[in-house]
Amino acid sequence: MKILIVLMVLITSIFAIKDLGVHGTLYKINESPLIATIKKEISELDIEKLKADLFKKAQAAFIRNHAFNECEEDDNSRYKNFIFAPQDVKNVDGSYLIKKGQRINVNLPIGVIDDICFVDGTDLNISLSNMTRLDNAVKCRIYSIANRDVRDYKDYGYDLNKVVPFDITTWNLFNLDCAPTLLHLEKNYVDIYKFKAEEEE
């Protein structure tokens, strides 16, 4: 039996190494090697245009525009911070913990206070004056500036970690409608302070 197996392996090996030739039509491969293609594409890049585009994007990161309404008078309001449940939340026994549409109060951790000030930076001097007014009311943690490059405020002693481009998400979340406005968040309350806009001299 072993001899038979050895013979079969030998015969198979002989046929396996035999050159059976080429059958059918040969087609030339027209695709360029991958590395050659990459090198060609790199050589065709407009480096100066690429630099200009990257610089433009970097510059845009420091400014966000927004069409503000000016606050017509000083005003302040307070309301409880809440959201509406987007879906039912059930306990493991099937009973409802929260029903869809139910109002849920949003509580910040004890001791956590946030103050975000929204300022129109169109006129630099007016915006600086408004920032002072906001600080006199409640010390701002963040200034959310629209319509001006926030780096302009560095020369006036403002840290760029504190002066940031306009945050449309927070603006819309709290349904704010004019500037300058101070948003004060504490526990489960929201205080909104509006300041009558200063007129350009």
Task: Please give the pLDDT value at position 75.
Answer: 92
In a domain, 125, yes or no: yes
Mean pLDDT to the nearest integer, 100-112 = 77
Residue 56: inside a domain, yes or no?
no
> Model's pTM, two decimal places?
0.64
130-140 pLDDT, tens digit per residue, is 999 888 888 88
The reply to whether 21 falls in a domain is no
pLDDT-based confidence at residue 194 (cuts at 50, 70, 90): very high
Distances (CA, A) of 200 to 119, 123, 133: 15, 8, 16
Domain at 185, CATH number: 3.40.30
- Residue that the structure tokens 């319509």 belong to: 147
**Does residue 154 fall inside a structural domain?**
yes
Task: Output the CA–CA distances (angstroms, integers) from residue 163 to 73, 79, 85, 176, in the order listed.
Answer: 25, 27, 33, 19
The closest of 77, 60, 61 to 192, measured between CA atoms, is: 77
pLDDT of residue 23: 66
pLDDT, one tens digit per residue, over 12-46 is: 655 555 555 666 677 777 777 788 888 778 777 78
The reply to whether 113 falls in a domain is yes
Please give the structure tokens belonging to residue 112: 């956590």
pLDDT of residue 136: 86
Q: Please compute the mean of the pLDDT values over residues 108-114 and round it to a whole number.
A: 75
What's the total number of domains in the chain? Answer: 1
Q: Is residue 36 part of a domain?
A: no
- Say if residues 99 and 88 touch (Cβ distance below 8 Å): yes
- Supply the range of the domain harboring residue 145: 75-81+107-194
Q: Is 58 a member of any domain? A: no
Residue 7 resides in a domain = no
